[in-house]
Amino acid sequence: MAIQDLFIKNMVCDRCIRAVRQDLEKQGYQVHRIELGKVTVEAPHIDLLAIANALEEQGFELLTDRNTRLVNQLKTLIIELIQSGRIMQLKTTLSDYLALHMGMDYAHLSHLFSTSEHVTIEKYWIFQRVEKAKELLSYRELSIHEIAIRLGYSSVAYLTNQFKQITGLTPAAYRNRSSSDRNPLDWI
């Protein structure tokens, strides 16, 4: 039996995990472990082309290039950190967190990310936090102060400044709008 790790782009939520699991199991693969962006499968023969085609039909992409996989892993770490609400427990800088989890020098990761994505890791981090803020604002369950804390901002003013730079609106103005203009996480 062959066991292989597969790296998959656009897995950004629990529904994505379920969809990928179902698709792989439907193809006859035993899924040993699955998390955002990565699946470990087992089968007598692993047909990467068939897997890639099936995933593509659902809006996912099988990543085979090492650098592309590393960039996707960085994105996944950032999204998981934001979605999980663990930002508040982060006792280190984002750069140290990413370097530790990736087991690589941050300068190398930063260069790789910027070259591939044409945006810095820091800017991507800001975009993701603003998208999460939009989501939380649209639910209307938390105050702007609570959202700032949940997303690791040191103050409402800091959140408001970054939010306005990205969206052109303050969080309060965004909340008061009738329709949401949130982007899917895999578009960012």
pLDDT, position 106: 97
**What is the spatial distance between Cα 19 and Cα 23, in angstroms, rounded to a whole number?**
6
Question: Cβ(38)–Cβ(7) under 8 Å?
Answer: yes
Considering only residues 48 and 183, tell me which one the structure prediction assigns the higher pLDDT: 48
Query: Full-prediction pTM beyond 0.85?
Result: no
180 has pLDDT over 70? no
Long-range contacts of 123-126 (CB under 8 A, 24+ apart): 124/75, 124/78, 124/188, 125/78, 125/94, 126/162, 126/166
pLDDT digits (tens, 9 = 90+) for 56-84: 999 999 998 999 999 999 999 999 999 98
Question: What pLDDT, on the 0 to 100 scale, is given for residue 108?
Answer: 97
The domains found in the chain, sorted by start residue, are: 2-63 (3.30.70.100), 66-121 (no CATH), 124-187 (1.10.10.60)
pLDDT tens column, 74-132: 999 999 999 988 887 888 999 999 999 999 999 999 999 999 999 999 999 999 999 99
Answer whether residue 181 shows pLDDT above 80.
no
List phi, psi (to 5°) of 122: -60, -40
